[in-house]
Structure 1
Amino acid sequence: MYDEPLFLKPVLQERIWGGTALRDEFGYEIPSETTGECWGISAHPNGPSSIINGPLQGMTLDEVFNNYRDLFNGDTSDAFPLLTKILDAKRDLSVQVHPNDDYAREKEQQPYGKTECWYILNSEPDAEIVFGHHAQSSAEFREKVDAGEWDQLLRRVKVKPGDFFYVPSGTIHAIGAGIQILETQQSSDITYRVYDYDRRGGDGELRELHIEPSIEVTSYPHKDPLNHYVARQDTTYVKTRLAKETYFSVYHWDVRGQLTHEREEPYLLASVISGEGNIRTKDQENPLKKGDHFIVPATIDQLTIEGDCELVVSHPEGV
């Protein structure tokens, strides 16, 4: 029986809006001063992370998922369903929207659309996100886009560390400058840009926009999802469920001593967002530090985390 978490080597992605926080705050080796994304737990072909411990060391997560389904509770998904990222927005991201599964399969020949969620790790004072829009219909949305009335169209929300946002497909959104987030999402890389502040890419040309598919997939009118946090507190930890949705459930674990978890989920994805400690399973003990990403496979029934640390933990639903 495989009794060790699968620790992963992340993939670092350069972005026009990125900075150096992934190095400065998390200790990753970044490829440039404009590094925007750490794909910490990824089996996506655009950046699969690889196993760095145990007998499967050196294999990519997609290879492990395809060849060792017993580690994933026999998950029959065509592809590993989730993707965990840390994003550093030194500058504003483009205003964008993602399609649902049906649209992604029909129009993009991809298995998944993109529903995601954000846990705010750090933010500068008065930092804000775009979350939703003020149009009541697609016709009104198109009218304001054509007129360039972005301030009237886009809904802006100030954020602070510890905030959480569920961002279903069809939601107009953008992470603002001065924010770092941990993102849990469907394993998809389909993005439709609505507005990009007339920025030019590395080739000197204006970056491509995707107005027509954006209008097609956007939800009208915007409605904020309801958050129903569920917290379980003990003397040495607080476990908070942040979301239980169609594709994933997401939790925040705040460990101040010891947390023992009896796994009932198919398998767990975990990212250490602050502090340090260690994780013990039946026959193994591994150190933990900020910036670590790992999977607790279905072959581990119980785990114990000791130390002073915070984690964002998730698992897929419906598998």
Structure 2
Amino acid sequence: MNLYPLKFKPILKERLWGGEKLREVLGKDFTSAEIGESWEISGVEGDVSTVANGPYEGKSLNDLISAHPEDLLGSDVVNRFGLAFPILIKFIDAKKDLSIQLHPDDELARKRHNSFGKTEMWYVMDADPGAELIIGFKNDLSREEFQKAMDSKSLTDYLHYEPVQSGDTYLINSGKIHAIGAGILLAEIQQSSDVTYRVYDFDRRDSQGNLRELHTDLAVDAMDFKKKDDFRIQYSRALNRESPMVSCEYFKTSYLDLDSETTMEFEDQHSFTVLICVQGNAQLVMGSWNVPVEKGETVLIPASAKKLVLKTSQSSFLKVSL
């Protein structure tokens, strides 16, 4: 059976900092008051996505990769990652501040956790007035200065706070200390990893009254203590054509702002493509397949695709490939 544009069932995650925007803004179906994440496409062990549309409905992403490795992932991806889906696509709703945290690089993650590291990209979809991200330090720190800040509970005095609005885009390299602030809804594209080192959690307690575990000792060895202004991504929004955003060794992203039918050609395609709808709606036509997509939905276009027609009068997408 030929592959087609694939949708997956969202994997919804309860978080003590979660809220209602995933339902109210993106149309996710849940009743809990604390859903913080919707994993859109995941190959993470224990959280593997399941197809939600077409003849493969109910099949896992891993089953499809096993049956159609190069047709689905692309030859370059298979050569590099084998049968592992190499990225994780999420939506995150931070009703409250997330913990201050960081992620290890590939070498450290492989050594400690038999996992990929985690470099990630954020695209802000909605932000309350005054909402901020924490990204990196105000100035270079030494390990000793960092430890003193932790001991005196003054770490937040040393962090860089970044005001945000809808459309802002950031690349968070492994090792960079960061946190998503309250009032922010964003799309996240990241390496396929769930390894997080929590450094500070504002002394919050979970529903059982317990402080959440910190991983400061692990984090220190992974942390970049240098001040770096390398995180904000500048990009244009040219109508009806791709506008490049991020190009790193783990993924490439671009922005599509459309107001009419647009054709995407995939000649000699060596990678799958992911389309994340961040505004409006469209029909994705691939051969005899016609797949509707709306804001808050994510679609995996197989590497075997030669052409995709996006029929729309107004929509915006993040395009992701390797």
Q: Which residue number in structure 2 is paired with residue 113 of structure 1? A: 117
5 Å matches for 1:1-319? 2-70=2-70, 71-74=72-75, 75-76=78-79, 77-78=81-82, 79-110=84-115, 112-133=116-137, 134-225=139-230, 229=234, 231=236, 233-234=238-239, 237-263=240-266, 264=269, 266-307=271-312, 308-316=314-322
Using the alignment, how far apart are the partners of 1:189 and 1:229 within structure 2? 27
Deviations 1:196-217 (A, max 9, x none): 0000112211111111111110
CA RMSD of aligned residues (A): 1.7
Displacement of 1:136: 2.5
Displacement of 1:224: 2.4
CA contact (8 A) 1:135 1:153 kept: no
Residue identity in the other structure for 1:131:
I
Unaligned runs of 5+ in 1: none
Unaligned runs of 5+ in 2: none
CA contact (8 A) 1:2 1:300 kept: no
Displacement of 1:227: 5.7
CA contact (8 A) 2:276 2:317 kept: yes
CA contact (8 A) 1:2 1:299 kept: no
Residue identity in the other structure for 1:254:
D
Q: In the superposition, relative to structure 1, how do residues 92 and 46 fare at CA in structure 2: closer, same or farther (>3 Å)?
A: farther
Q: TM-score, with normalisation over the residues of structure 2?
A: 0.92
Tell me the SS of whatever aligns to 2:217: helix
Using the alignment, how far apart are the partners of 1:218 and 1:190 within structure 2? 14
Q: In the superposition, relative to structure 1, how do residues 304 and 232 fare at CA in structure 2: closer, same or farther (>3 Å)?
A: farther
Using the alignment, how far apart are the partners of 1:40 and 1:120 within structure 2? 16
Q: In the superposition, relative to structure 1, how do residues 265 and 125 fare at CA in structure 2: closer, same or farther (>3 Å)?
A: farther
Displacement of 1:97: 0.3
Displacement of 1:228: 6.3
Residue identity in the other structure for 2:247:
K
Using the alignment, how far apart are the partners of 2:127 and 2:237 within structure 1? 26
Comparing 173-182 with 128-137, greater Cα deviation is found at 128-137
Displacement of 1:169: 0.3
Residue identity in the other structure for 2:23:
R
Residue identity in the other structure for 2:62:
D
CA contact (8 A) 1:113 1:186 kept: yes
% identity of equivalent residues = 35
Displacement of 1:282: 2.2
Displacement of 1:219: 0.7
Matched pairs, number? 313
CA contact (8 A) 1:41 1:269 kept: no
Deviations 1:52-111 (A, max 9, x none): 22332211112222332022113141421000000000000000000001101111122x
Using the alignment, how far apart are the partners of 1:41 and 1:29 within structure 2? 17
Using the alignment, how far apart are the partners of 2:237 and 2:22 within structure 1? 31
